Structure 1
Amino acid sequence: MKRFITILVLLVVAASCGGVKKTQQALNTGNYLQAINTSVMELAENKTRKNKQTYVVLLEEAYAKYLEFEEQEISFLQKDGNPAHLEEIYKRYSEIRNVQNRIRPLLPLPIYDEGREASFSFPNYDAQLLAVQETLSSYLYENASQLLNDATQKWEFRKAYEDFQYLNEINPGYADTRKQMEYAYQNGLDYVKVRMINDTQQIIPERLEADLLNFNTYGMDNLWTAYHTNPLDEIQYDYEMQVAFRDIVITPEQISERQVIKERQIKDGTQDLLDAEGNVVRDSLGNRIEIDRLRTVRCNYYEFTQQKMAQVVGNVNFVDLRTQQSLNSYPLTSEFVFQHIYANYDGDRRALDNDLVARLGLAAVPFPTDEEMVFSAGEDLKTRLKGILQRQRFR
């Protein structure tokens, strides 16, 4: 046990040393953020433990070098004067603020060997951050607005939407950003009207049609595609999704029967054990020895299977309404099998196996109607249709 504890301690120490070594390596190679993040994570567990002292020193040094490096980079980007650098400057100021907010809760951080607290300088860049945010917002708004004004293709509207969306993230509610986003979004959408086609000689159950066309239940996450099962006159649709039923096959109601004859030996009391000469066998105390008396029982088992099957065959076709060309076509096939087994018997049911006895308590049930059969087959169709919608891409 002592040996196990010793090995465990050595492993913990080795792991700790490995973490310190990697953090020091990150610091030495200029990966200041990595060194800061590792040190903060280690100190957040228990900053006062002596084995965490190395991380205090590493954090102090890494933060000082990080701050100096970032200030130099920001100064360089500002001197360049290129508005394309505004986003980079904004990100750097934001990251400095985030780093400071992660370190502050840990303070004070004592360095025991030097009898002092680790020193951290926290310059306030809020004014600079807000100033560059405003300038960047104006720059992004002008660029996105120009792109939106010049847009003629859907991908251009989508790019404008993404630019306005980013602007709204860094400066929510700036000017009429949300209004412009909505306009770009509506123009970037692919509008698809959905049409149900019934080429069978049977009526499609209304419940099935409503279920298949209820796109809200498919859980699709496609930002740029809108499916309309009730097309609107004011929208110019890009594509048509045709859900076509080509054939519906429903088999007749069938009842098949099978008979099984079962025999089994069962215990029916006891009897004296006799020797070869017909004499009663006794034990050493003179008592009569008894054995089980067995007899054979027989049972006629009659099993009935009710069965009915429905198969729905169709396909889903996507058509480009501008060219009237088919884009993709997918098979859409499903089947549903209704089966019910029940049984009865005559004779001694003790001859039957347990699995057969279980069916004796069942009786015949009404067959589903044709409409119910088709609807049940449609449950699987819905899953298949969802898979088709997830695979389909228009551009």
Structure 2
Amino acid sequence: MKNFTIIIGIATMVFFSACTSLEKMVDNGNYDEAIVKLARKLSGKKNKKAKDLKMLEEAFQKVTAEDLAYAERLKTTGRASNWDEIFNIYQKIDDRQDLIMPFLPLVSKDGYRAKFNFANVNSLKNEAANNATAYHYNEAIRLIALGKKGDKRAARQAYDGLETLEQYTDQYKDSRSLKEEAQFLGTNRVLVKLYNNTFGFMPREVEEEIMSVNVKELNTFWTQYYTKSSLGYDFDYVARLDVDNIDISPEREYINRYIDEKEIKDGWQYALDEKGNVKKDSLGNDIKVDKYVKVVAQVIEINRQKSATASGRFGLFDAETKELIETRPFSVDAHFSDFASSMTGDRRAISDRTRGRIKNYPSPFPSDLLMTMDVAYELKELMKTEMRRFAI
């Protein structure tokens, strides 16, 4: 009985705490929060309390009046930039009314009927939308004019404004073409250039392999990369790749002799006791055990190795002033390695490693050109990683 009394007491405290919380929300001006909580509380409830309905009425009336008054104050400032906020206020009023509408009529268990004066904000929303659209369009024209003078930030702001305009209407005058122009003007264009400082050690094929990098993979919304300067663009940056050295190692061949050995099962034999007699199991049968023998193989392994290394610098320059903005060194490697092994002795002794290398001869050494092409491929992949790190 004592526990039951405690539970009832806790439930009562929670109930009064919830009521007090809602009343405090209304008293403190947190009307929308109170309206949402009250709507949830009243949803599907048959025995509604007049106190809750009156609280909902009060919150709804006060917040609607405040919103309408605030929208009017914003209008009186005469600032065209306020129209987005004014539209959002009317939209909020609309959303709030849509929240309550499905619950109507709201009648308490003792017959109290809640009354709500809904504001017709459709014409006000249309007015705000039209004025906001005109504002963003005119502002975009002003910002694009600055973009044409080289102000990329202004062009991007124009693009953002035209994006906002499209929230009100699919198209306004020539807003779509203006948006394309804003994006074009706001985009950074980067020319990727290769400088061969190896004194003729880099063949033409290698340069072509490096510059075949797929720069489209590097493109972002506001940054575009190019490998050709003949496209008629004014470039903002030059991403410069200086290859200073390409080193090819000598061809190296190593011979390694080693022995593989292991114990393997080779049939069976009878198990003997200490006296040399055949052991018996519990049924009197002879006991057999696996017989193991040691097998050995002699292995001769040939290993061929060759490598190439390219080193230099990645640099980002201002295309107009030629000023160096950022630079980073690089070094990339390409390796050739192949094995061939032959054996004598018992083939059962060889390891899995040896078995995978059994063949008469290793592959021939690649030419210096092929090694340089391999290192060029590695450099091309590194380029994409490094250029993504540039602070453009």
> CA 1:113/1:345 → structure 2, altered by over 3 Å: closer, same or farther?
farther
Pairing of 1:251-270 with structure 2 (within 5 A): 251-270=249-268
Q: Deviations over 1:24-57 (max 9, x none)?
A: 76555434444556677x68xx953789999x96
Contact preservation (8 Å) 1:47, 1:109: no
Give the match for residue 141 of structure 1.
Answer: 137
Partners of 1:18 and 1:302 lie apart in 2 by 87
Partners of 1:334 and 1:64 lie apart in 2 by 71
Partners of 2:48 and 2:329 lie apart in 1 by 63
Partners of 1:119 and 1:341 lie apart in 2 by 90
1:89 aligns with 2:86: yes
> CA 1:273/1:313 → structure 2, altered by over 3 Å: closer, same or farther?
same
Q: Deviations over 1:241-294 (max 9, x none)?
A: 222222222334444332221333334334455566656666788765555444
Give the match for residue 221 of structure 1.
Answer: 220
> CA 1:282/1:317 → structure 2, altered by over 3 Å: closer, same or farther?
closer
| Residue identity opposite 1:331 in structure 2 | P
Give the match for residue 381 of structure 1.
Answer: 379
Contact preservation (8 Å) 1:349, 1:357: no
| Residue identity opposite 2:141 in structure 1 | S
Aligned residue for 2:212, secondary structure, equals helix
Give the match for residue 176 of structure 1.
Answer: 174
1:236 aligns with 2:234: yes
1:131 aligns with 2:120: no
Give the match for residue 342 of structure 2.
Answer: 344
Partners of 1:130 and 1:284 lie apart in 2 by 101
Contact preservation (8 Å) 1:262, 1:351: yes
> CA 1:383/1:150 → structure 2, altered by over 3 Å: closer, same or farther?
closer
Aligned residue for 1:268, secondary structure, equals strand
Partners of 1:227 and 1:93 lie apart in 2 by 44
- Report the RMSD for the aligned CA atoms in angstroms: 4.4
Give the match for residue 6 of structure 2.
Answer: none
> CA 1:285/1:230 → structure 2, altered by over 3 Å: closer, same or farther?
closer
| Residue identity opposite 1:48 in structure 2 | G
Partners of 1:185 and 1:241 lie apart in 2 by 22
Give the match for residue 309 of structure 1.
Answer: 307
Partners of 2:344 and 2:138 lie apart in 1 by 90
Contact preservation (8 Å) 1:86, 1:132: yes
> CA 1:379/1:285 → structure 2, altered by over 3 Å: closer, same or farther?
same
Count of paired positions: 376
Contact preservation (8 Å) 1:168, 1:178: no
Partners of 1:365 and 1:80 lie apart in 2 by 82
Partners of 1:373 and 1:270 lie apart in 2 by 55
Give the match for residue 65 of structure 2.
Answer: 68
CA shift for structure 1 position 89 = 0.9
Aligned residue for 1:337, secondary structure, equals strand
Partners of 1:329 and 1:301 lie apart in 2 by 51
Bigger shift: residues 178-187 or 344-353: 178-187
Give the match for residue 331 of structure 2.
Answer: 333
Aligned residue for 1:299, secondary structure, equals strand
> CA 1:112/1:257 → structure 2, altered by over 3 Å: closer, same or farther?
farther
Give the match for residue 4 of structure 1.
Answer: none
Aligned residue for 1:211, secondary structure, equals coil
Bigger shift: residues 368-377 or 90-99: 368-377
Partners of 1:73 and 1:35 lie apart in 2 by 20
> CA 1:256/1:164 → structure 2, altered by over 3 Å: closer, same or farther?
same
Aligned residue for 1:166, secondary structure, equals helix
Contact preservation (8 Å) 2:206, 2:376: no
> CA 1:73/1:234 → structure 2, altered by over 3 Å: closer, same or farther?
same
Give the match for residue 8 of structure 1.
Answer: none
CA shift for structure 1 position 189 = 3.5
Contact preservation (8 Å) 2:241, 2:315: yes
> CA 1:349/1:188 → structure 2, altered by over 3 Å: closer, same or farther?
same
CA shift for structure 1 position 297 = 1.9
Bigger shift: residues 309-318 or 79-88: 79-88
Partners of 1:86 and 1:112 lie apart in 2 by 40
Contact preservation (8 Å) 1:207, 1:375: no
Aligned residue for 1:202, secondary structure, equals coil
Contact preservation (8 Å) 1:208, 1:378: yes
Partners of 2:230 and 2:252 lie apart in 1 by 47
TM superposition score normalised by structure 2:
0.74
Q: Deviations over 1:338-390 (max 9, x none)?
A: 33445332211222344444544897445555455444444543443233333
CA shift for structure 1 position 93 = 1.5
Partners of 1:21 and 1:256 lie apart in 2 by 87
Contact preservation (8 Å) 1:161, 1:181: yes
Aligned residue for 1:227, secondary structure, equals strand
Partners of 1:121 and 1:363 lie apart in 2 by 94
Aligned residue for 1:170, secondary structure, equals coil
Give the match for residue 197 of structure 1.
Answer: 195
TM superposition score normalised by structure 1:
0.74
CA shift for structure 1 position 90 = 1.7
* Structure 2: segments with no counterpart, 5+ residues: 1-12
Bigger shift: residues 277-286 or 87-96: 277-286
> CA 1:294/1:103 → structure 2, altered by over 3 Å: closer, same or farther?
same
